[in-house]
Amino acid sequence: MIPVCPTTALPPGEAIRVEADEPIAVFNVDGDFYAIDDTCTHQDASLADGWLDGCAVECPLHASCFDLRTGKVSGPPAKIPVRTHRVVVQDGMVYVQPGTPADGAA
Amino acid sequence: MSPTVAVVGASLAGLSAARALRAQSYGGRIVVIGDEVHAPYDRPPLSKGFLAGTASLDDIALSAPDDEDLGLEWRLGTPAVGLDRLGRSVLLDDGSEVRADGVVLATGARARRLPGSEGLAGVHVLRSLDDALALREDLAAGGRLVVIGAGFIGAEVASTARRLGLEVTVVETQPVPLAGPLGAEMGAVCAELHADHGTRLLTGTGVAGLAGTGRVEAVELTDGTRLPTDVVVVGIGAAPNTEWLAHSGVALGNGALGNGVLTDERGATNIPGVVAVGDCAAAWSAPAERHVRTEHWTTALEQPATAVATLLGAGEPAPTPVPYFWSDQYGARIQFAGSRREGDVARVVEGSCADRSFLVAYERDGEPVAVLGMNQPRLFTRWRRQLRSPVPTPC
Ligand SMILES: Cc1cc2nc3c(=O)[nH]c(=O)nc-3n(C[C@H](O)[C@H](O)[C@H](O)COP(=O)(O)OP(=O)(O)OC[C@H]3O[C@@H](n4cnc5c(N)ncnc54)[C@H](O)[C@@H]3O)c2cc1C
Ligand code: FES
């Protein structure tokens, strides 16, 4: 597990990029935390820089939307989903488990 | 016979229209007509990663696996040569015709050429995949490149060629590059990227002619300068592909509009059942109080949903999209959104021009109307959103 930050450092509507083998983006959606690959599958934008809209993030470059729960892409130009990663919140800290898909993700 | 929609132009706007038809529950035939033999591909990489050799043909294919389910009938490699006056039949150059109940015009634009450059080897324009393949081959030989026109495509080609190790000169007629889209002040800032990366930029001088027999040898400028060169790229803008509509009765703009297909805000042309989208369309813009032909990727992606709704008879109000485009030059990510006019005041709100990392807001009467970012994607996205006032959707 990689420690990300204290929960208070990632308020609702915000995202943070975590360095791992492949960088990971962690989002706070109204108190629920989600983690996906940070690099867009279209080109090389950082999804942590994107726009959070409900449970989806819109890529900051060409606006493909990825579902934070499943990693699925809902519109062009990206064609490939991103991976999701399990997030664990313990004692006020946010952690990610790289490579373990989020519960309920396809 | 089942109802048919003919989509003319098999690129971003055409494919987006076909997808939108299905998304809006249209169950009839969709025939997509394209003059290029290639399946739809993405143009922006043609001056960037594809030209540099870092993006493959697969990478730039527009079709996604799900598109198989759209059930499209493709007529590739077959230019449309006419539309009958009722807009009910598209004539193809092989003599056949496609009868249709609705027609989507999505024939895009083509690169303007320099008069007198025809037939001279080593002189390129860049619009299509074939153009990019030919240019890539010429650049691979190395040597000197002259780019005529310091617009976005010219600047991107210069940047890619520098990366490939060529000696590059960019020639621009205007005193300041990109002054049209960005204003003189910010155009000048973006143009400094050329010097940063060892590209020579000559402004305020026109091209008198090209020298060479068989193959280009030099570019001659109006101020008498002669630029010996191995390759020339002409990047002086694009003209809409609308000549084939000349006798169709479809209303086209005049010269200043570049002869785009005139539409209302919902993509409707003057002929019922015929809509136009993407680079070939000059759509009415209420804020601008005129028809505007927007040559942006995002417009070609988003406009078809509205135009298709028009075609299918839905009457929701037209959305008011905020124009957006990006450009990648010398590793710098440039993004612009909004509608800038002469007189708007550019204010740096973050970063600095000298650091090549900034966000600039254009203000009119104290209100932001447009935003320009260099290497500031996160902040840019937030400003871009403010311009279009977001409506959050719950999970
Ligand atoms: C090199 C390059 C780089 C670019 N970079 C950027 C960028 O960084 N950012 C950005 O926002 N935009 C960029 N653009 C612009 C963007 O690619 C266009 O706005 C977009 O391609 C428009 O899509 P379209 O489908 O309307 O037209 P097009 O892509 O031009 O497609 C029209 C299609 O119709 C075909 N056609 C024409 N006439 C006929 C006919 N009579 N019958 C059948 N088919 C016909 C054409 O051959 C073409 O295949 C770039 C464009 C180019 C060329
Ligand atoms: S880089 Fe994300 S959509 Fe293009």
Cα–Cα distance, B166 to B154 (Å, whole number) = 15
CB contact under 8 A, A48 and B378: yes
Q: Which ligand is nearest to the CA of B14?
A: 1
- pLDDT on residue B257: 54
Mean pLDDT, chain B, integer: 94
Q: Which residues contact B21 (CB under 8 A, 6 or more apart)?
A: B5, B30, B308, B311, B312
CB contact under 8 A, A77 and B62: yes
CA of B310 from ligand 2 middle (Å) equals 29
Q: Tell me: pLDDT of A6 over 90.
A: yes
Domains and CATH numbers, chain B: 4-110+239-311 (3.50.50.60), 113-236 (3.50.50.60), 331-387 (3.30.390.30)
Looking at B4-13, B45-54, B236-245, B380-389, which range is the least confident one?
B380-389
Look at ligand 1, atom 38, and give the residue with the nearest C-alpha.
B107
Q: What mean pLDDT do residues B315-333 have?
A: 89
Q: Tell me: pLDDT of B32 over 60.
A: yes
Q: Which ligand is nearest to the CA of B10?
A: 1
| Higher pLDDT pick, A46 / B289 | A46
- pLDDT on residue B393: 42
Which ligand 2 atom lies nearest to the CA of residue A45? 1
The answer to whether residue A103 is domain-embedded is no
- pLDDT on residue B289: 86
- pLDDT on residue B1: 65
- pLDDT on residue A105: 66
Q: Which ligand is nearest to the CA of B181?
A: 1
CB atoms within 10 A of CB B312: 15
The answer to whether residue A24 is domain-embedded is yes
- pLDDT on residue A106: 52
Cα–Cα distance, B181 to B187 (Å, whole number) = 8
CA of A102 from ligand 1 middle (Å) equals 39
pLDDT in tens, A67-80: 999 999 988 899 99
CB contact under 8 A, A55 and B395: yes
pLDDT in tens, B246-286: 999 999 998 665 689 999 999 999 999 999 999 999 999 88
At B64, the pLDDT band (50, 70, 90 cuts) reads: confident
Count of pairs with CB atoms under 8 A, one residue in A, one in B: 47
Domain assignment of residue A11, given as a range: 2-97
- pLDDT on residue B104: 98
Q: Tell me: pLDDT of B174 over 60.
A: yes
Q: What mean pLDDT do residues B371-385 have?
A: 96
The answer to whether residue A79 is domain-embedded is yes
Q: Tell me: pLDDT of B390 over 60.
A: no
- pLDDT on residue B256: 61
What are the two backbone dihedrals, phi and then psi, of residue B252, each rounded to the nearest 5 degrees? Answer: -115, 155
At B108, the pLDDT band (50, 70, 90 cuts) reads: very high
CA of B241 from ligand 1 middle (Å) equals 10
CB contact under 8 A, B381 and A51: yes
Cα–Cα distance, B204 to B221 (Å, whole number) = 10
The answer to whether residue A106 is domain-embedded is no
Q: How far is CA B305 from the centre of its chain?
A: 18
Whether B121 and B215 have beta carbons less than 8 Å apart is answered as yes
Which CATH number goes with the domain that contains A60? 2.102.10.10
DSSP-based three-state secondary structure for B195: helix
| CA atoms within 13 Å, Cβ hemisphere of B378 | 10
Q: Is the omega angle on the peptide bond into residue B392 within 30 degrees of 0, that is, cis?
A: no
Look at ligand 1, atom 3, and give the residue with the nearest C-alpha.
B44
DSSP-based three-state secondary structure for B132: helix
pLDDT in tens, A78-98: 999 999 999 999 999 999 999
pLDDT in tens, B182-199: 999 999 999 999 999 999
Residue to mutate (ligand 2; options A37, A38, A39, A40; most atoms within 8 A of CB): A40
| Higher pLDDT pick, B302 / A104 | B302
At B330, the pLDDT band (50, 70, 90 cuts) reads: very high
Looking at A53-67, B304-318, B343-357, which range is the least confident one?
B304-318
- pLDDT on residue B150: 98
| Higher pLDDT pick, B289 / B137 | B137
Which long-range CB contacts under 8 A does B174-179 form with residues at least 24 apart?
A: B174/B150, B174/B203, B174/B204, B175/B203, B175/B204, B176/B203, B177/B150, B177/B151, B177/B201, B177/B203, B178/B150, B178/B151, B178/B152
Determine what percent of chain B is predicted with pLDDT higher than 90: 88
At B85, the pLDDT band (50, 70, 90 cuts) reads: confident
At B160, the pLDDT band (50, 70, 90 cuts) reads: very high
Look at ligand 2, atom 3, and give the residue with the nearest C-alpha.
A62
Q: Tell me: pLDDT of B391 over 50.
A: no
- CB contacts of B39 in chain A (<8 Å) are none
The answer to whether residue A38 is domain-embedded is yes
Nearest by CB: A54 against B298, B380, B395? B395
B88: left (phi over 0), alpha (psi -120 to 50) or beta: alpha
- pLDDT on residue B36: 98
At A99, the pLDDT band (50, 70, 90 cuts) reads: confident
Instruction: Mark out the alpha helices in chain B (DSSP H runs).
Output: 12-23, 49-52, 57-60, 129-140, 152-163, 179-182, 184-196, 297-311, 377-387
Which residues sit with their C-beta closer than 6 Å to ligand 1? B 8-14, 33-36, 43-44, 46-47, 79-80, 106-109, 126-127, 153, 241, 244, 278-279, 295-298, 300, 325-327
- CB contacts of A29 in chain B (<8 Å) are 395
pLDDT in tens, B295-317: 999 999 999 999 999 999 987 77
Q: Which residue of B has its CA nearest to A55?
A: B395
Q: Which ligand is nearest to the CA of A62?
A: 2
Q: What mean pLDDT do residues B149-176 have?
A: 98
Counted domains in chain A: 1
Instruction: Please give, rounded to a whole number of angstroms, the shortest distance from the CA of B392 to a CA of chain A.
Output: 6
Q: Which residue in B148, B110, B106, B107 sits closest to B127, CA to CA?
A: B110
Which ligand 1 atom lies nearest to the CA of residue B109? 30
Q: Which residue of A has its CA nearest to B23?
A: A75
- pLDDT on residue B86: 85
Q: Which residue in B230, B259, B257 sits closest to B243, CA to CA?
A: B259
CB contact under 8 A, B377 and A58: no
Say if pTM beats, i.e. exceeds, 0.90. Answer: yes
The answer to whether residue A105 is domain-embedded is no
